[in-house]
Amino acid sequence: MPERGGGESVYDGLPDGVVVADANGTVVDLNDAALRILGPGDWQGRPLRDVLPLIDPQGRDWWACTNPYDGLVTRVRQPERWLTLAREGQPDQTVLVTAAYRRDGQRKVTSVIVSLRDTKARSRSEKSGTELISVVAHELRSPLTGVKGFTATLLNKWERFTDEQRLHMLKTINADADRLTRLISELLDVSRIESGRLELHKQLVDLATLVERDIAGRVAAGEAADRFVIETADVPEVWADPDKVGQVVGNIVENALRHGSGAVHVRLAAEGDGARVTVTDEGEGISAEALPRVFTKFWRDARRGGTGLGLFIAKGIVEAHGGVIEAGSAETGGARIGFALPLGAPGHAEA
C-alpha cells in the first residue's frame, strides 16, 4: 500500500479518489483510490495545490481559476470536468474532477473535498466500443452490399434473367441475410454476457448429439465429410442449455475450419463429474503470444477475417454453465480448444 501519512480514510470504500483539505488548504485525508491515482508519497500535510496540480483544457491553473478559499462565498461545489494532473517528473494524467466546499455560518470555507476519477478504465471501454463499431461496420458492409445489389438488379431487370440466374441471386441474398442475422445474434450475446444477463434454459443434453448435428449441418452446406473426425466415448448427459452449448460447439468448430487446416478432430470424453469436448485441427496452431488473447473480444487471425467474437461468446456461455474453456496446442501441431461442463442438476432456468 502506498504511503498515506496517516491511518485509514473514511472514504476508503468509495470507488473514486477523494482528497480532503482543511480550512488552510492543507491535505488532511485521502482514500485508497486517490493513492492509486497519485502513487506513493506522504501526501497528508501538504498544500492541496501541490498534491493536485490541476490544469484545465486551456492550459490554465484550475485552482487559480476556481479560487475555492477566496472566491464567491455562495459557491459550494465545482461541476465535474476533465482536467490534467500535471506533476513535475511524472507523465501528464487525465482525470475527471469535481469538488465540494464545506462552509461555516460566516460562509468561510472549512474544507474542500475533491473527487478524482482515473480515466484509464473509461478509455479502455471507449476504445473497445470504437473497435466494436469498426468491426460491425466492416462485417455489415459486405452482406448488405450483396443484398442491395442483387435486390436492385432483380427489381429493375427481372425479365432479362433466366430462372436459373434469378435462383442464384435469391440464394445469395438469402445467404447474406443469414450472415447478417448471425452477426446481430453475436452482438446481442456479447451484450448479455458483459451485462450478466445471459439466460440459460437448461435440460438434459447429449453432447454427442449436438456435435453430430453441427457436423451434419456443415456437410450438408458443402464441407467435405472426410474433413471431420468424431471420437466419442461413454459421455454422460449434462444439465445445460442445448442451444447455447450447441452454439459453443459451432463457434469452436468454425474457428478450427476458418483458422486451421487439414482434418478437424472432435473428441468427447467423460471428465471427473462432467464431460469434455475438445476440438483440434492440423493447421499452424496458435502462437504462444496469442494464447492469452484467444478468448478476448475481437481476437482473430488477420489473414482469415471474421468478427473475432465467437470464442469470446463461447467462453461466456461455458462459464455461465459453471464450466471451463481453454486453448493450447494439439499433438498434431495445430490448435486445440476444449471445454468441460459439470453434470449439473435439474433446476429452474438461470440468468
**Domain end position, chosen among 91, 118, 145:** 118
**Is residue 226 within 8 Å of residue 264, measured between CB atoms?**
no
Give yes or no: residues 166 and 294 share one domain. Answer: no
pLDDT recorded at residue 298: 72
The pLDDT tens digits of the residues spanning 197-243 come to 888 999 999 999 999 999 999 998 889 999 999 998 888 999 999 99
Cα distance between residue 46 and residue 324, in whole Å: 50
DSSP 8-state assignment for residue 236: P
* 191 and 207 both lie in a single domain: no
Model pLDDT, residue 1: 38
CA torsion sign for 15, 16, 17, 18 is: negative
Residue 6 forms part of a structural domain? no
Q: Give 249-277 pLDDT, tens digit per residue.
A: 999 999 898 888 889 999 999 988 899 99
Using alpha carbons only, what angle is made at residue 270 by residues 266 and 295, rounded to the nearest 5 degrees?
Answer: 55
Three-point CA angle 70, 72, 78, nearest 5°: 95
Residue 351: pLDDT band with limits 50, 70, 90: very low
CATH (domain of 287): 3.30.565.10
Structural domain contains residue 9: no
Please state, as a whole number, how many other Cβ atoms lie within 10 Å of the Cβ of residue 29. Answer: 22
Q: Are residues 169 and 212 in the same domain?
A: no
Structural domain ending residue among the three candidates 195, 215, 247: 195
Same domain, 213 and 307: yes
Give me the phi and psi of 186, to 5 degrees please. -60, -45
Q: Is residue 313 part of a domain?
A: yes
Contact 250, 299 (CB under 8 A): no
332 and 225 part of one domain: yes
As given in the structure block, the three cell numbers for residue 264 are 478437424
Highest mean pLDDT among 14-18, 74-78, 107-111, 328-332: 107-111
Do 187 and 294 sit in the same domain of this protein? no
Which of residues 147, 174, 195 is at a domain's end? Answer: 195
Residue 139, in any domain of the structure: yes
Domain extent, residue 56, equals: 17-118
Asked, for residue 165, whether it belongs to a domain, the answer is yes
Q: How far apart are the first and last CA of the chain?
A: 37
When comparing pLDDT for 179 and 134, which is higher?
179
Mean pLDDT of 66-79: 87
C-alpha cell at 129: 466500443
Reading the block at residue 14, the C-alpha cell is: 468509495
Same domain assignment for residues 223 and 316 = yes
Edge-first strand order for the sheet with 274-280 is 228-231, 264-270, 274-280, 335-342, 324-329
| pLDDT band (50, 70, 90) for residue 348 | very low
Is 1 part of a structural domain of the chain?
no
47 in the same domain as 97: yes
Examine the domain organization and report whether 33 and 87 are in the same domain: yes
Residue 52: which pLDDT band, with cuts at 50, 70 and 90? very high
- We report the CATH number of the domain holding residue 107 as 3.30.450.20
What pLDDT does 7 receive?
59
Residue-wise pLDDT for 278-288, tens only, equals 999 988 888 87
Same domain, 52 and 129: no
Asked if residue 185 is part of any domain, the answer here is: yes
Copy the grid coordinates of residue 75. Answer: 459557491
Residue 304 confidence (pLDDT): 53
The reply to whether 326 falls in a domain is: yes
Per-residue confidence at 2, pLDDT binned at 50, 70, 90? very low
**Those residues with Cβ within 8 angstroms of residue 339's Cβ, 6 or more apart along the chain or in another chain:** 248, 252, 276, 277, 314, 318, 323, 324, 325, 326
Q: How many domains does the chain fold into?
A: 3
Question: Residue 127: its pLDDT value, please?
Answer: 58
Do residue 94 and residue 162 come from a single domain?
A: no
User: Are 250 and 334 contained in the same domain?
Assistant: yes
